Structure 1
Amino acid sequence: MEKITLDAVRNFIIDNELTDSVAISLHPDSFDDLVMDYLDTNGLKLERPFEILGIEILQDFTGAVPKNQVNILDTVE
């Protein structure tokens, strides 16, 4: 993804037919950009947990996810 935006993440979820059995992990900078875009679009209201189309969006604290990349995590054990 060139830049992580609300529209780009929505399209990614739809195009990849993701379900609530996964979560998306983002680089901290990409996560911050997405949250700001979400807040601008939704009038400064952020739900907890942070979800887009039912998919939880997480911030990667491990350093494993590069900026502007999406990591898909299985949430079903």
Structure 2
Amino acid sequence: MEKITLDAMRNFILDNELTDTVAISLHPDSFDSVVMDYLDTNGNQIERPFEILGIEILQDESGNVPVNKYNVLDAVK
């Protein structure tokens, strides 16, 4: 399975035409990897909540999301 990167996240969001009605949950290792890519790209600055292209990115704390897999959740607004 291919490692999830910042570019892969952007492509996934665009390819699936995701909107702000969803959020994406990632395994903690994948989340950390994406955050590190984001920090490198944005000069060690990160916004809270953490979003990519307007989609909130969350760290899975349930243990249900495998490494390098995306879990798309309905966002509650």
Question: What is the TM-score with the length of structure 1 in the denominator?
Answer: 0.96
| 2: CA distance, partners of 1:3 / 1:39 | 17
Which residue identity lines up with residue 22 of structure 1 in the other structure? V
> Unaligned regions of 5+ residues in structure 1, if any?
none
Which residue identity lines up with residue 25 of structure 2 in the other structure? S
> Unaligned regions of 5+ residues in structure 2, if any?
none
Which residue identity lines up with residue 20 of structure 1 in the other structure? D
The offset of 1:76, in angstroms, is 3.9
Q: Encode CA deviations 1:21-65: one digit per residue, 9 max, x unaligned.
A: 000000000000000000000000000000000000000000000
Residues 1:5 and 2:16 aligned together? no
Which residue identity lines up with residue 72 of structure 1 in the other structure? V
Q: Between the two proteins, what is the percent identity of the paired residues?
A: 78
Give 1:20's aligned residue.
Answer: 20
Residues 1:51 and 2:51 aligned together? yes
| 1: CA distance, partners of 2:65 / 2:48 | 22
| 2: CA distance, partners of 1:6 / 1:76 | 24
Question: What is the TM-score with the length of structure 2 in the denominator?
Answer: 0.96
Count of aligned residue pairs for this structure pair: 77
